[in-house]
Structure 1
Amino acid sequence: MTGETGSGESNPERRGNELPTTAFDSDDLRADDNLDATIAADMSVGCESDSLGDASNRSSKLPQLDGYELLEELGRGGMGVVYRARHEKLDRIVAIKMILAGQFASADSIARFELEAETAARLDHPGIVPIYETGQSGDHHFFSMKLIDGSPLSALLDQFQPDQRKSAELMIKIAQAVQHAHQRGVLHRDLKPANVLIDPDGQPLLTDLGLAKQLDNDSAITQTGLVLGSPGFMSPEQAAGKADVTVAADVYAMGAILYWMVAGRAPITGENAFDVVRRTIEHEPESMREIRSDADRDLNLICLKALQKAPDQRYASADDFATDLQAWLDGEPLSVKPPTLFTSTRRWVQKNFRGVAVGVGTGTICGLWMGLTILLQIAEQQFDTASSLHEQLEAADPPWITEAFAWVKKVPAGLGDSLVPWITVVTAICGIATIGLSKPKRGESGAAPALTATLLSGILAFVISWAWAPIANRAEQASEQDLQLLSDYVFLHPDDRHLAEEVLFQRYPGLPKANSWQRSELMQSKIVSDQISSIPAALWTGLIVTAFIAALPIFASSLFAGLVWHREHRGWKFFWRSLEVAFYASTLMFLMSRSFGDFTGAAPAWHFQLISAVVISAAIGVALKRKSLWLRIPLFLAVFVTSAINVSDTGKVTRSRWIAQNAKTDAELAKALPYLERHLDHSRDRESRFRLATVYARLGEEKKYKKQCKTLLENGNFYRRAVAEQAAKVVLLKPDLHDDLSQAHLLAQWTSQQRAYNSWDYLCRTLSEYRQGNFDDTISWAEKSRKTAISQNAWQRETVIATAHLLESLAYQSQGNDQQSKQSLQLANENFDRESEVSFEAKLTYQILKDELAK
């Protein structure tokens, strides 16, 4: 049976819980519960009027309509009746809808009927039944429309309920038709399965716009308090009788239809129409999964989003509803459910499979090269030494890692260091290969292979070497001081142990308050705690190093190679042009890294770096824009020159010690001072600080000298003999500028009594005794310094002997023995002149003390 509404409404048993369209006053509904029975009775009449009844009886009562031959009645509802008819001039079978009351129709009914025809005529969409003609014949108002040879959705539940994907596909088409109506200012307001016809091809068509509303026509037909719609499918605001309904009402109805197709019943049910309307206002729909356990979770979320009670909580449009349904069909992320990381990653890999596969290959090669190269370098520096130490100690169970890296001894010495510079080259080639092999299509950015290679190379480099190496270094630094002090306390000569104990008590004032067992437990717990606490910082250090050295270079080279690729370069031309850009990018990144200081603590001046960055950026832009060689060659030379200037300036900082050492006057030394200060600003190492403090002492920079001395005393690792010796010596050069010299004297005493003492330690002790006014002890320690220097054939032996004679001369002078003082000074000058290689720190120390003697 065909028709607009008749075929679906003729079989009430197939309609589940669907109730007929109705209109009643919500104020009366709320005022008198006794109307429940009346409303239910009216609705049941509506249902019965929808049935076809006896076709032969109705055919004899068919009205006459100019220009049309009415063939049979297809169905009728509360307001209208639909006939099959033939257009006499066009000889076309159509559907004719007329007002059921005919000549007795009220003005309101006529106005609503004409509005339905006008509204339907505005819409032209494959999913909406088209209107052919509107008119009036005698007392009969009518409009003709396309006759659909199909069935209403309400009669086809068994075809859709088993297949949730089929239901979603149908709902997308319905939503597209509704979106078309909304875009033209039309609200349907009575969407339900009976008002969706399914043609023989399975395509849905919307029909029955009897309750439609034109958003641009503020008609008085719809009144506040009048409930319009079909219970079970109408929105809460319609059920409440609100006149200012929006597109959200139709979104709710579409959600209800989808719910009906999947769950087999409307989202809100009740004993009768009144109960359904009341429950629509007061209650939320229950989850489809509570009705149908195999209902898809995501589809349930989409449905419940459309069925939210608050209109602003639903989908903003029918198109948004359709978009989420299509995403669900395609396995894409939903707006109602953010995708998990695993889901997003899986979809991204599927979408970019070729690029990801290439990125895995190049990333693996690059990551293994970087990780193993750094591992080899570390193994050469650390594990070979560790293996030798365990052999000397005859340890029964050396750590497994020491045995695992026994092969390092068979590797040519220095191989790791020689391979490190090639990391940049390998990284650039891998980045270029990532784009060249993935061959991104036009419109593709090449981000998939670049990101894959970047992440994989970084992860491999991090796991192989750059994760645990910083942990080992941090753990060593965290406990090295305590372990050295405890080792000295255990193994030093009993007469010297009190020095280690004094340093321990000075570092940890709480130790003297504890007994011996508590001290042992406290120190053990502290060492373990320090090592564990160092792990997070070590991991962050490893991640930063990995990101900057491993991940960033391959990503940058891939990015620039992608830009070259999209400029239609192919083959060797692509490779060389990408290599050119990668060279510039690597140079720029090298300069950026130097801004933080390299391993020597050297960095070029900021204005040189800025000039180079501008020139390199221009060179990259010219290379990418395929400019001629006449422009690219000068820029290449400019990059080379500016880079050379940066390297030269960096070299001056690196060679600042050599420049200062060869300064013959204080004026020349002052010229080297800025480079020494820049070196310290970036390196922050003890040697640079000690060197700079000595220069400040020589040049009379009292404030800067005191600042560096204070830092050396506060941050010095005094468990190391050389650290303690340097700190004590530089402080004692200018004793008048310090308020307290006790720590310096203690350090000088500590270094001179270590088991691995040398002549420099004795020389520091000599200076300490002199500053304390112990002149006889000064002479005694000076003699020890000279003898030790000779017996140990110490480095800068003549300088040690000369400085010892000089301190001896100062002591004799203080005792009033000028003759002996002059003799010692003469010996000092003779030994100093014989020195072939002297550090400028030792040279400055000698000069400062000599000036003091002259005064």
Structure 2
Amino acid sequence: MKYGRYEVVKELGRGTMGVVYQAHDPQIDRMVALKVLRPDRVVSQDFVLRFLREAKAIGRISHPNIVTVYDVGQDHGTIYIAMEFLEGRPLNEAIKGRTLPPDEAVQMCSEVAEALGYAHSKGITHRDIKPSNIILTPDHRTKLTDFGIARIEDPDAAQQTQAGDILGTPVYMAPEQVMGQKADGRTDLYALGVILYEMVVGKRPFGGGNIAAIFRSITHEPPEDPMKAGTFHHRELADLILKSLSKDPNQRFQTGQKMAAALKACLDAGAHPFPESTVSAEKPVRSKKAGIVIAVLCVCLAAGIIGYKTMQNPGEDASATAGAELPAASSLLDVASTPSGAQVFVDSAFKGTTPVNIPLHPGSYEIRLNLPGYYEWEAQLQIGEDQPAPLDVRLVSID
């Protein structure tokens, strides 16, 4: 099969928006990674624009630690992006079940911090920094990938994310992402701090038995000091990690360059990359908005349903959210919207217009609501067992 001039070799992975293939470019005889928008997404202009944003985001930047985009095209009624084919393995595979020596972890994270600092200087916020989006190449370099939900500071670009959308991967999300607030470069650096904690301690700083518990931990609980959480013993680096995990973005590193410099300096004997006072224990976030968001999330979890947007990568460690094997018993998804009359799609299949009751087996489903004149709403939802799962969506007018 071919897309444009690119000959597909094999499938590498698939997610909510598209499929990634290894493909051959005969024009210059090289392998590329070909990201192809799912055909059912082409019918939605909103998703087409969002897909093309990834190409625009990484196509206009050039950095040795960021994947390179070669080409964008259309074929077979869909859109594709040809990118640099990376040999190596994702960071989540490298750190699974083990910790890394501090110097190795610092080297990797400093490269990512510098790459993020460069992207931020170009007006691009990644918003989904996680180990599976960091590739370790055979020549011991890191490559940052998957800008699929990146935010671009472009006054000519349409805003694709409706207010209140939760984008990202839960265990690496910053408090402002959990609360549906604007994400900026400091949000990416927070996620990098979570990754660094995981690399040297062997576990993540925030967790829980379900997504609502994880979100509550992220927004309300201070992280355990890395020096007390495992066998890690490096005070300067521990303080750096705590600074990067500040719940207040103003207390974190303000640029990727500053975080990279601090990472390199903290391993030098006697180095103090930032004042000791900046890593003191924080007070939990207690804003009204945080309380409302957490309450809503808890209600959703009680009903057995919670949604978030992410590109799931092969081999992704889903231990924080995966449960036991789900039984075959049926449940009921009760979908309503304001205004009513929205078309409801479950895994791309039309199920009726709101309000509607949809019988489903327990499991994960992709839900979309469409109504002319309103932004499309989408979420990946986990349906619980033996109880109705209410979903009430307030659609946002395009005007």
> How does the TM-score come out when normalised to structure 1?
0.31
What is aligned with 2:176? 237
Supply the distance in 1 between the matched residues of 2:127 and 2:161 (Cα, whole angstroms).
11
> Aligned partners of 1:160, 1:101: CA distance in 2, in Å?
40
Separation of aligned partners in 1, 2:57 and 2:238: 33
Matched, 1:87 2:25: yes
Structure 1 residues 119 and 195, CA gap change in structure 2 (3 angstroms): same
Residue of structure 2 in register with 1:99 after alignment: 37
Q: From the superposition, tell whether residues 305 and 127 of structure 1 become closer, same or farther in structure 2 (CA, over 3 Å).
A: same
SS in structure 1 of the partner of residue 167 of structure 2: strand
1:325 aligned residue:
263
**One of 289, 292, 304 as aligned partner of 2:227:** 289
Using the alignment, how far apart are the partners of 1:317 and 1:104 within structure 2?
36
Change (3 A) 1:213 1:149: same
Determine if the alignment matches structure 1 residue 151 to structure 2 residue 89.
Answer: yes
Is the CA contact 2:236–2:267 (under 8 Å) kept in the aligned structure 1?
no
Corresponding residue for residue 223 of structure 1: 162
Contact 2:120 2:185 in 1 (8 A): yes
- SS of 2:23 mapped into structure 1: strand
CA distance in 1, matches of 2:46, 2:216: 27
Q: How much has 1:121 moved relative to structure 2?
A: 0.2
Residue 226 of structure 1 aligns to a residue in which SS? Answer: coil
What is the identity, as a one-letter code, of the residue corresponding to 1:234?
Answer: M
- 1:252-651 equivalences in 2 (<5 Å): 252-331=190-269, 333-337=271-275
Pair 1:115 & 2:53 matched: yes
Q: Equivalent residues in 2 for 1:716-795 (5 A)? A: none
Counterpart AA for 2:186: A
Paired with 2:130 and 2:118, the residues of 1 have a C-alpha distance of: 17
Partner of 1:127: 65
Post-superposition offset of 1:151: 0.3
> Max radius of gyration: which structure?
1
Q: Residue 93 of structure 1 aligns to which amino acid in structure 2?
A: M
2:184 to 242, 246, 261: 246
> Post-superposition shift, 1:187?
0.5
Cα distance in 1 for residues equivalent to 2:104 and 2:211: 30
Contact preservation (8 Å) 1:129, 1:146: yes
The corresponding residue for 2:117 is 179
Distance apart, 1:266 and its partner CA:
2.0
Contact kept in structure 2, 1:239 and 1:278, CA below 8 Å: no
Q: Quick check: 1:160–1:166 contact (8 Å CA) kept in 2?
A: no
Q: CA–CA distance in 1 between the matches of 2:98 and 2:271?
A: 24
Post-superposition shift, 1:220? 1.7
Distance in 1, Cα, partners of 2:219 & 2:26: 49
Alpha-carbon offset, residue 323 of structure 1? 1.2
Name the structure 2 match of 1:821: none
- Does the CA contact (< 8 Å) of 2:25 and 2:31 recur in 1? yes
- Tell me, yes or no, if structure 1 residue 198 matches structure 2 residue 139: no
SS of 1:315's partner is coil
Which whole-Å CA distance do the structure 2 matches of 1:158 and 1:78 have between them? Answer: 24
Q: Is the 8 A contact 1:102 1:139 kept in 2?
A: no
Count of matched residue positions in the alignment of Structure 1 and Structure 2: 276
- 1:322-351 alpha-carbon deviations (Å, 9 max, x no partner): 111111123353233469xxxxxxxxxxxx
Cα offset, 1:76, TM superposition = 1.1
Alignment of 1:805-844 (within 5 A): none
Q: In the TM superposition, what whole-angstrom CA distance separates every residue of 1:114-137 from its partner, at most 9, and x where no partner exists?
A: 001100101100000000001111
- 2-side partners of 1:103 and 1:324: how far apart? 42
Cα deviation for residue 239 of structure 1 reads 0.8
Change over 3 Å in CA distance of 1:310–1:177 after alignment to 2: same
Q: If each structure's strand is expressed as a fraction of its own residues, which one has the higher value? A: 2
Q: Output the CA distance in 1 between the equivalents of 2:264 and 2:144.
A: 20
**Preserved CA contact (<8 Å) 2:105 2:196:** yes
Quote the RMSD (CA, aligned, Å).
1.9
- Uncovered stretches (5+) of structure 1, i.e. residues with no partner: 1-62, 340-855
Deviation, 1:265, is: 2.1
1:427-452 deviations in Å (ceiling 9; x for gaps): xxxxxxxxxxxxxxxxxxxxxxxxxx
- CA shift in 2, pair 1:159/1:175, >3 Å: farther
Deviations 1:172-193 (A, max 9, x none): 1111111110111111110010
SS of the equivalent of 2:12 reads strand
Answer 1 or 2: higher relative contact order, Cα 8 Å, separation at least 6.
2
Partner Cα separation in structure 1 for residue 255 and residue 273 of structure 2? 13
Q: Is the 8 A contact 1:252 1:307 kept in 2?
A: yes
- Report how far residue 224 of structure 1 moved: 1.8
Give 1:210 shift.
0.6
Residues 369-390 of structure 1 deviation map (CA, whole Å, 9 limit, x = unaligned): xxxxxxxxxxxxxxxxxxxxxx
Identify if the C-alpha distance between structure 1 residues 132 and 160 changes in structure 2 by more than 3 Å, giving closer, same or farther.
farther
Once the two structures are superposed, residues 278-318 of structure 1 have per-residue CA deviations (whole angstroms, 9 ceiling, x without a partner) of: 32122222211222143312111000100000010111111
Structure 1 residues 295 and 109, CA gap change in structure 2 (3 angstroms): farther
CA distance in 2, matches of 1:320, 1:264: 25
The structural deviation recorded for 1:101 is 4.0
Shift of the 221–71 alpha-carbon distance from structure 1 to 2, 3 Å rule, reads same
Correspondence for 1:626? none
Question: C-alpha separation between the residues in 2 aligned to 1:103 and 1:212?
Answer: 18
| CA displacement 1:140-199 (0-9 Å, x = unmatched) | 211001101110000001697241111011111111111110111111110010000010
CA distance in 1, matches of 2:259, 2:240: 8
- The corresponding residue for 2:149 is 211
Name the residue aligned to 2:331: none
CA contact (8 A) 2:236 2:271 kept: no
Pair 247,200 (structure 1): closer, same or farther in 2 beyond 3 Å: same
**SS in structure 2 of the partner of residue 251 of structure 1:** helix
Inter-partner Cα distance in structure 1 for 2:10 and 2:146 = 19
Give the helix-richer structure, 1 or 2. 1
Structure 1 counterpart of 2:13, which letter?
A: G
Cα distance 1:125–1:106, how it changes in 2: closer, same or farther (>3 A)? same
Aligned CA distance change for structure 1 residues 122 and 160 (closer, same or farther; 3 Å): farther
State the partner residue of 1:573.
Answer: none
Amino acid in the other structure paired with 1:225: G
Are the counterparts in 2 of residues 287 and 304 from structure 1 also a CA contact under 8 Å? yes
Q: How far apart, in 2, do the equivalents of 1:272 and 1:137 lie?
A: 41
Write the distance in 2 (CA, Å) between the matches of 1:332 and 1:132: 45
Question: Does the 8 Å contact 2:97/2:202 carry over to 1?
Answer: no
Separation in 2, partners of 1:328, 1:103: 46
- Structure 1 CA distance for aligned equivalents of residues 252 and 197 of structure 2: 15
Gaps of 5+ in 2: 278-399
Looking at structure 2, the residues matched to 214 and 134 of structure 1 have their Cα atoms a distance apart, in angstroms, of 18
Q: Secondary structure at the match of 1:98?
A: strand
Q: Does 1:77 align with 2:77?
A: no
SS in 1 for 2:3: coil
CA–CA distance in structure 2, aligned partners of residues 144 and 160 of structure 1: 34
